[in-house]
Structure 1
Amino acid sequence: MIGTMILLAYFLPKPGMVKEPVSLEEIANIGVSFIFLFYGVRLSVEKLKAGLANWKMHIVVQLTTFLFFPLIVLAFRPLLLSNGFELLWLGVFFLAALPSTVSSSVVMVSIARGNISAAIFNASISSLIGVVVTPLWVGLFIASATGGFDATDIFIKLIFQVLLPVIIGISLNSRFGAVAEKYKKQLKYFDQGIILTIIYTSFCKSFSEHLFEGFTGLELAGLAAGMMGLFFAVFLCVGLFSRLFGFSDEDRITVLFCGSKKSLVHGTVMSKVLFQHSTITGIVLLPLMLYHAFQLIAASIIAQRMARRKESPIADQS
């Protein structure tokens, strides 16, 4: 569906640019607030408190997500800027500064038979931390790429469009948490619909300004290869950190999958806030979409192999 939205934006960009009578961009803006409201409703404070015990593992996951990841990408900035790829680098850095995924991290940890409760805790905390940390990281470089960065305007919008809905949602958890869990499949479809709308409108702007015409097929293939390399580099380093800290197998699995994943949901909705009224959003989202597709494929293969390894000793003993 992401690919379909990009093709639709290329061949039929006008609906994504129309302001009257209905603006898809405004629908997406309102949808972003509802995504975070429903996320807060499903977030149980009791479960978060219960997850605080394994603090060493949580620190490793969050430092990997919000410090190690961005520092790796930051190291390659001079190389990419010297070759004229400032916007693509900004997109990769935006990806690196994002929080971890929620649902897919938990699913992968579950398949690989890791610590599921710790995965839920880390994914939830990562989402909350990202509301503050991601804009701070990206704000350091937005001005040079877009020609300006109004921090006050962006943080006000973050508070009202993201943080406030989450807080309201958490306050409603005791009343409507069970209802939200019951209809989480329908809420997931709503999330996906808003994400696809954001992707469509973002690429409509980028295509209308002919921003992709400067990139060759080889350069885009190189970007895809770079995203694969980034995933494996972080995955291997996180595995090394887990062994150095002496984590159990279950905790190591949780650190591996929570620390190496990045959230497409948060990326698309935050791009609406951080790059508002900008035509570069499509380019900025491109590395994230490539990374997202690859992380799902690679992580699912790795998780299933881990599960088979855990099953084989049982099979041998029987």
Structure 2
Amino acid sequence: MALRRFLPDNFTLCLLATVLTASLLPCRGGVAHAFEWLTNLAIALLFFLHGAKLSREAVVAGATHWRLHLVVLASTFVLFPVLGLLFKPLLMPLVTPTLYVGILFLCALPSTVQSSIAFTSIARGNVSAAVCSASASSLLGIGITPLLTGLIVRANGQGAMSWHSVGEIVLQLFVPFVAGQIAQRWIGGWVQRHRPLIGVVDQGSILLVVYTAFSAAVLQGLWKQLPLSVLGGVLLINAILLAAALLITRYGSRALGFRREDEITIVFCGSKKSLASGVPMANVLFPAHVLGMIVLPIMLFHQMQLMTCAVLARRYARRLETGKHETPRTDVLAAE
């Protein structure tokens, strides 16, 4: 049982299978074009459903705890990018320049929603504040992440993000999200009753992006450019970023005088990055021939944060009680 919590979840296994399929049977030509259209439609549907699901009442209800929310947002959109840039001289030699752009893009992503709330609940933290913080991060990330990415990529010497990319973000992600918020009045209840549908769209859109991205990357010679030493470098950089975020949010929240429940919320909401938002955004922001390299750090960070936070949540909970503890269902959280 102790070993089981470190094993990859079903969705991670699906991601690995998709990468393997793209490596052996990459799509090309007209098939690749058809997959791109299907992927774009799936991403638009995903953000429409997220807009219809996100409860404005839940966000307003938790909005009064503004100090906590500012700390979480600062960790997500300030601390991570600063760490990514500060660590560059030490960590850049471990990976290729394109992979480090993927690391920097990871640093600009919003926090997860479901897993942040679930782990906060398991650790006996402030769940209502977690709902508000995670939801706000996800919503604001639609606008902040593309802008941060442009600034970080320029600082990394890779050029600036084009206005065309900004327009695509607005059309493909923000417009469907706003449409979902408008339609929430009529379909919000139905979407809440059929939450597994969002999970299917979440995971399906990510798998589509990963397949098309890795197909293009394989045709460009991805695996010839990615030796095991470089892959190990990505894992090490991810581990350093995650450990730094966990330590800073934990001891920083204590230094700022937050209660234990609020500390838990800050730790679990402020240390995560969303795979569900990151992969679709990468699909819009980056050209196809580098997309595989860009999403690889996000995929690895995703599994690393789930395993680490599952252990940490149980440790927090054990300090408060000695009965049976709830075990996080990583299959449900897997698409974030």
Q: Same fold (TM over 0.5)?
A: yes
The match for 1:285 among 256, 276, 295 is 295
Measured after TM superposition, the shift of residue 309 of structure 1 is 1.5
Aligned-partner residue type, residue 264 of structure 1 = L
Paired with 2:279 and 2:36, the residues of 1 have a C-alpha distance of: 12
C-alpha displacement at 1:39, in angstroms?
0.3
Identity rate, percent: 36
* Aligned position for 2:125: 114
Partner of 1:237: 248
Counterpart residue number, 2:283: 272
* 1:82 Cα offset (Å): 5.8
Aligned equivalent of 2:55, options 39, 44, 50: 44
> Within 5 Å, which residues of 2 pair with 1:18-57?
18-20=29-31, 23-57=34-68
Is the aligned partner of 1:158 residue 2:164? no
Check if 1:209 corresponds to 2:220. yes
Looking at structure 2, the residues matched to 11 and 31 of structure 1 have their Cα atoms a distance apart, in angstroms, of: 24
Conserved in 2, the CA contact under 8 Å of 1:212 and 1:283?
no
Unaligned ranges ≥5, structure 1: none
Which residue in 2 is equivalent to 1:312? 322
Alignment deviations for residues 291-310 of structure 1 (CA, whole Å, 9 cap, x no partner):
10000001011111211211
Partner amino acid for 1:267?
Answer: G
Report the counterpart of residue 7 of structure 1 in structure 2: 20
1-structure distance, mates of 2:61, 2:196: 25
Unmatched 5+ residue regions in structure 2? 1-13, 325-336
> How far apart are residue 83 of structure 1 and its match?
6.6
- Asked if 2 retains the 8 angstrom alpha-carbon contact of 1:80 and 1:86, the reply is no
* Residue identity matched to 2:212: T
- 1:72 deviates by 0.3
Paired residues, number: 311
Q: Retained in 2: the 8 A contact 1:87–1:145? A: no
What RMSD in Å do the two structures reach over aligned CA positions? 2.1
Report deviation, 1:47. 1.6
Q: Deviations over 1:96-140 (max 9, x none)?
A: 100000111111111111111111111111011111111112113
Q: 1:269 to 1:172 in 2, by over 3 A?
A: same
For 1:129 and 1:155, locate their aligned partners in 2 and report how far apart those are by CA, in whole Å.
15
TM-score normalized with structure 2 length: 0.87
Q: Kindly provide the amino acid, as one letter, of the partner of residue 128 in structure 1.
A: L
SS in 2 for 1:38: helix
Residue 13 of structure 1 aligns with an amino acid whose one-letter code is: P
Shift in CA distance, 219/148, structure 1 to aligned 2, threshold 3 Å: closer
